[in-house]
Amino acid sequence: MLIVSNNPMVEAAFGDSCVFVDGSAMDVLISVRDMLHKGHKLLSHPLAGSVKPYESPIRSVCVSKNKGAYDMQSVLLIENAIDKYKALPQRNFIENHDEDFQLIDLSLIQSAVESRLQDRQYTITQSGGAKYET
Amino acid sequence: MKLELGYIPIDNIKFAERSYVEGSTLYVSKEELSEVLMQDENILGLNFAIALPGDNTRITPVKDVIEPRVKVDGKGGMFPGVLSKVDIAGSGRTHVLKGAAVVTTGKIVGFQEGIIDMSGPGAEYTPFSKTCNLVLVITPKEDVVQHEHEYTVRMAGLRAAAYLGELARELEPETIETYEFLPLLESIEKYPDLPRVGYVQMLQSQGLLHDTYVYGVDAKRTLPTLISPTEVMDGAIISGNCVSACDKNPTYVHQNNPIVHDLFKRHGKDLNFCAMIITNENVYLADKIRSSDRTAEICGYLKLDGVIISEEGFGNPDTDLMMNCRKISDKGIKTVVITDEFAGRDGSSQSLADADPSCDALVTGGNANEVITLPRMDKVIGTEAYVGIIAGGWDKNKAEDGTIQVELQAITGATSEVGFGYLSAR
């Protein structure tokens, strides 16, 4: 799984699994959209829950590491999310709360990662081991 | 399962040497209550304040609101699995200090959340301007991290409510309401001609500051399950949700969910309220699919005729709401969803982040982006320092005369998605 994020805390926590975007939350969504068009699959919902898009400058979204067939549902969700971001007014963020936004975002992504761990698809290999889909 | 709620009306709170109830006044000893709450070693400082209806008082930022109650007969204690040992709530008798509430306040993260005005225009929007509130202002020790801080504040609120509720144990209730929830087959046998109606309650379960607990279990780690509505009325669900003041369900609202109460009122008359299902709102897409699948399967298995679905919060949970609606509708069951709207300050933007053609009957709690002006208050419990940055406030929203402009979403309970509020088209 890859985490597309502009959150330094997520980058620090997930290292190579994080595709760090040096930009706005909107830039994160656009990077995700581009990846979905190349065949990655959306794994977490691109919108936050109950924290309004324009209130937080921080966003992280989980996508599959492997590329497969173009997933229409994923593309619809990300396009919807981008529309929602565009429709709402932008606000000047207050710098000293960046860390709090980062922490909340990290917590939400950790809950997605925990779900991913129990949800991984696997196949039994010839030697009897389990091969996990990435 | 049969639950009696015995109501002892409270219309005043005063501080006193010892804690007791006399007439309709709740007397609270700060010393005794401090002793109960200071067992949490994360608490550095503790202040109490009283906010009564009509006071020129603002409470902010509000975390949770809890109704003081005590279990006097039947299984379990208050908040089983959290405060008392694990047991099944929802039967026997519970006494309620009706009209009293415990409100917790304190900064957990920088942009939080929630205003209760006890008078003025803001009071019209929050149900907790009508309750007599004992407010806990909790300061944690410096090294307490945010998730421990949230836990400390949550538990302090529950402990204070249980402590106050205990004062009602030996009192004679003024009124007693009885709620009986029959086993499914008996209910169908009793009302063979009435439509079978279920209630699907969605619980916020996203992560830090966005959590709900069922008998102490984090709802994000649960599969949708059947629960007796009397269990929910009796403290089976508690809120750890500090996000989106206007449309989150504080513990008080779980204890007094109007959808449950109204379905009971109609039960046996024009409908048969025979199922309540709780489900979650997770971040991970496969969880959303899994939970909505399971919810729809339960509704189909019970052969319900109609289902009410209530959401908690907004944003990605709108997708859970639509998945639930579509999959339940696909079973041939009629649905009504209850949500609120984030339609922009002029109300012209799309209200929800997701939509589905099956969602053809929807009740709204109101537009949370609507802007209102709140006057300066003489007394502020907590701090106004965050009003500019709580969800729904914005920078430079405080005028020189002390009035503030906020969106409705900053006001606790303003656009409740279970109808525990005052906004109406009537």
**Residue pLDDT, tens place only, B12-66:** 999 999 999 999 999 999 999 999 999 999 999 999 999 999 999 999 999 999 9
CA geometry: angle B356, B224, A42, nearest 5 deg = 50
Q: What is the mean pLDDT of residues B148-152?
A: 91
Option in A83, A84, A94 nearest B395 (CB): A94
Looking at residue A125, its pLDDT comes to 57
For B209, which residue in chain A has the nearest alpha carbon? Answer: A104
Q: What is the mean pLDDT of residues B55-82?
A: 96
At residue B71, the pLDDT reads 97
Kindly state the helix (H) or strand (E) to which residue A103 belongs, with its residue range: helix A98-119
State the nearest Cα–Cα gap between B270 and chain A, in angstroms: 36
Give the rounded percent of residues in chain B with a pLDDT score beyond 90. 81
For B204-236, the pLDDT digits (tens) are: 998 878 899 999 999 999 999 999 999 999 999
pLDDT for A116 beyond 80: no
- pLDDT, average across residues B179-187: 97
Interchain proximity A111–B353, CB inside 8 Å: no
- Whether residues A88 and B243 touch (CB distance < 8 A) is answered with no
Indicate the residue of A45, A97, A109 with minimum beta-carbon distance to B319: A45
Distance from CA of B70 to the nearest CA of A (A): 32
Mean pLDDT of B393-401: 70
3-state secondary structure of B408: helix
Q: Look at residue A120 and tell me whether its pLDDT is greater than 80.
A: no
Q: Which of B257, B179, B276, B246 is nearest to B416 (CA)?
A: B246
Q: Which residues of A67-82 are buried (b: 16+ CB within 10 A; e: fewer)?
A: eeeebeebeebbebbb
- The pLDDT of B90-111, averaged and rounded, is 90
Contact: B391, A52; criterion CB under 8 Å = yes
Out of B285, B353, B388, the one facing A84 most closely (by C-beta) is B353
Residue A114 to chain B, least CA–CA distance (Å): 9
Q: Which residues of chain B neighbour A44 with C-beta distances below 8 Å?
A: 283-285
A124 pLDDT higher than 70: no
Active site residues of B: 242
Rama region for B154: left / alpha / beta (φ>0; ψ in -120 to 50; rest): alpha
Range with the poorest average pLDDT among A92-106, B25-39, B321-335: A92-106
Strand residue runs (E) in B86-131: 92-98, 100-105, 116-117
**Separation of alpha carbons B285 and A19, rounded Å:** 19
Mean pLDDT over all residues of chain B? 93
Across B246-252, average pLDDT:
96
Task: Quote the CA–CA distance of B329 and A106 in Å, as a whole number.
Answer: 35
- With a cut of 70, say whether residue B322 has pLDDT above it: yes
Q: Of A99-113, B137-151, B160-174, B284-298, which gets the smallest average pLDDT?
A: A99-113
Q: Three-state DSSP class for B47? A: strand
Confidence of residue B295 (pLDDT cuts 50, 70, 90): very high
Return the higher-pLDDT residue of B144 and B305: B305
Inter-chain contacts counted by CB atoms under 8 A, chains A and B: 129
What single string gives the DSSP state of each residue in B288-310? HHHHHHHHHHHHHHTT-SEEEEE
The residue ranking higher by pLDDT, A73 or A122, is A73
| Residue percentage of chain B with pLDDT more than 70 | 96
Q: Which residues of B touch A55 (CB under 8 A)?
A: 111, 391
Note whether A120 contacts B: Cβ–Cβ < 8 A. no
Q: How far is B348 from chain A (nearest CA, A)?
A: 10
- Would you call A100 and B243 a contact, using CB atoms and an 8 Å cutoff? no
Question: In angstroms, what CA-CA distances link B208 with B26, B67, B147, B326, B382?
Answer: 34, 24, 6, 29, 22
Instruction: Please state which of the ranges A88-92, B56-60, B96-100 shows the lowest mean pLDDT.
Output: A88-92
Q: What's the gap in Å between the CA of A88 and the closest CA on chain B?
A: 7
Alpha carbon distance B57, B133 (integer Å): 11
Residue A121 has pLDDT above 90, yes or no: no
Least confident of A94-108, B119-133, B328-342: A94-108
Ranking A43-57, B23-37, B118-132, B161-175 by mean pLDDT, the lowest is A43-57
B243, B286, B344: residue with CB nearest A119: B286
How far is the C-alpha of B123 from the C-alpha of B412, rounded, in Å?
10
Q: Which residue has the higher pLDDT, A130 or B66?
A: B66
Contact B204, B211 (CB under 8 A): yes
Cβ proximity of B283 and A111 under 8 Å: yes
How many whole angstroms from its chain centre is CA A63?
Answer: 6
pLDDT at B137 over 60: yes
Contacts of A84 in chain B (CB under 8 A): 350, 353
Residue A86: closest C-alpha in chain B: B349
Residues A111, B110: C-beta atoms closer than 8 Å:
no
> How far A102 CA sits from the closest chain B CA (Å)?
11
Contact B209 A104 (CB under 8 A): yes
Preceding amide of B173 cis, omega within 30: no
The DSSP result for B231-299, as a single string, is HHHTTSEEEEE-S-TTT---HHHHHT-HHHHHHHHHBTTTBEEEEEEEEEE-SBHHHHHHHHHHHHHHH
* Residue of chain B nearest A102, judged by CA positions: B109
**Interface touch B146/A94, C-beta < 8 Å:** no
Tell if the CB–CB gap between A109 and B283 is shorter than 8 Å. yes
Which residue of chain B is at minimal alpha-carbon distance from A120? B286
User: So what's the ipTM on this one?
Assistant: 0.80
Which pLDDT score is estimated for B109? 66
A48 touches chain B (CB under 8 A): yes
Mapped onto helix, strand or coil, the DSSP state of residue B354 is coil
**Least confident among B313-322, B368-377, B391-400:** B391-400
Q: Which residues pair with B373 in a beta bridge?
A: B405
Check CB contact of A62 with chain B, cutoff 8 Å.
Answer: yes
Per-residue exposure over A32-58, b if at least 16 CB sit within 10 Å of its own CB, e if not:
bbebbeeebbbbbbbbbbbbbbbbbbb
* Residue in A closest to B284 by C-alpha: A44
Of B385 and B277, the one with more pLDDT? B277
A66 in B contact zone (CB under 8 Å): no
Task: Provide the CB-side half-sphere exposure for B321 (13 A, CA).
Answer: 31
Return d(Cα B272, Cα B198) in angstroms, integer.
8
| Residues in CB range of B108: below 8 A, 6 or more apart | B63, B146, B149, B150, B153, B209, B242
Is A50 within 8 Å of B314 when comparing Cβ atoms?
yes
Cα separation, A45 vs A62, in Å, equals 8
Specify the pLDDT at position A84: 82
Cβ contact, residue pair A50, B285, below 8 Å: no
